[in-house]
Amino acid sequence: MLGSVDFVLWMLGAFLPAGVVVCACKGRVFFRYFPLNLYMLAAALLTAGRFVIFWKYGFLSLEYRYFYFYSDAILTICLYFALMGLYSHVFQEMGVNRYLRVGAMLLLALTSWFTWQVLVNSSASFISKTRFVVELSQNLYFVGLVLTYLLWGAVMKLRETRTQVIQLVSALGVYFSAFAANYSLHLLSPGHSTVWTYLPQVLAMWLPLAWAYTFAKVPEEARIATARVAATQGHDQ
């Protein structure tokens, strides 16, 4: 049974990403940050789709389970492309966009191949498509986390000054790190509790909120000194 808190969180999960797209359209940056908006659009639609499937078939149904895992994989792939979109912004001036695109596709293919190989070599006698999708989603998530850390390193090294790009990347870093911390905490303290049910849903709201703020409030031409935002450097630098 869906409680009022679950219902509100579910609705927010669909409306907040849609809000990002609206803010991007209003700020006239929809096509500039197209992969990010595509991810948010997919998040809004798939969350709404999950709700429809849940309503029609129930939480424990096979339909809901399939839809959940497959939509999660699609969202992770979209997030991966959103991250690659941010890479192309950061490396824009170096003119390496073509190499980035090829690299992104190669890394995606490599992650899929690695996932498949791990499953083939595991002790399981039967490998289902769903299991592959779940594992791929998890591995791609980990790759995204590492790539975000590397991207932040590039932002600092290349002295990126565009406030929008800095805020989009740092918000993504907060999101990935929070989920990684949540995941490890869950491993350290397994079991079901209210915290593990609601915490990921609350954490998931951070990214649409932060990106919507950036698109709505930070002008495209806003600039900031890179040294000013580096957490390891002093204020006066």
Partner 1 sequence: MIAALIFVIAIAGFLQFFVSYCRSLIAAYERVDLSDQAREVTGISNRHVAGQDFERLLQLVRMCPEPGDDGREIGAVRTYFGLLTIARAAFRKIAPALERRMERERQSCAYFAAVALDRRIAHSRGLMASQLSEH
Q: Judged by CB, which is closer to partner 1: 51, or 213?
A: 213
CA gap 171, 168 in Å, rounded: 5
Asked if 180 touches partner 1 (CB under 8 A), the answer is yes
CA gap 61, 108 in Å, rounded: 31
Three-state SS string across the chain, please? CCCHHHHHHHHHHHHHHHHHHHHHHHCCCCCCCHHHHHHHHHHHHHHHHHHHHHHHHCCCCHHHHHHHHHHHHHHHHHHHHHHHHHHHHHCHHHCCHHHHHHHHHHHHHHHHHHHHHHHHCCCCCCCCHHHHHHHHHHHHHHHHHHHHHHHHHHHHHCCCCEHHHHHHHHHHHHHHHHHHHHHHHHHHCCCCCHHHHHHHHHHCCHHHHHHHHHHHHCCCCCECCHHHHCCCCCCCC
CB of residue 53 to partner 1, shortest distance in Å:
31
Binding residue (CB under 8 A) for partner 1 from 3, 4, 62, 236: 236
Asked if 204 touches partner 1 (CB under 8 A), the answer is no
Asked if 47 touches partner 1 (CB under 8 A), the answer is no
Binding residue (CB under 8 A) for partner 1 from 131, 183, 199, 205: 183
Asked if 24 touches partner 1 (CB under 8 A), the answer is no
- Using CB under 8 A, count the residues that bind partner 1: 35
Give the binding range for partner 1 (CB under 8 A) out of 4-12, 63-71, 77-85, 170-178: 170-178
Q: Judged by CB, which is closer to partner 1: 49, or 173?
A: 173
Asked if 100 touches partner 1 (CB under 8 A), the answer is no
Asked if 15 touches partner 1 (CB under 8 A), the answer is no
Asked if 176 touches partner 1 (CB under 8 A), the answer is yes
CB of residue 222 to partner 1, shortest distance in Å:
7
> Is residue 226 within 8 Å of 159, Cβ to Cβ?
yes
Quick note: the x/- pattern for partner 1 over 130-169, rule CB under 8 A, is: -------------------x--x----------x--xx--
* Residues whose CB falls within 8 Å of the CB of residue 50, separated by 6 or more in sequence, listed in order: 10, 64, 67, 68, 71
CB of residue 215 to partner 1, shortest distance in Å:
13
Asked if 12 touches partner 1 (CB under 8 A), the answer is no
Kindly list the residues in this chain that would bind partner 1 in the complex (CB under 8 A): 149, 152, 163, 166-167, 170-171, 173-174, 176-178, 180-181, 183-185, 187-188, 209-210, 213, 217-218, 222, 224-225, 228-232, 234-236
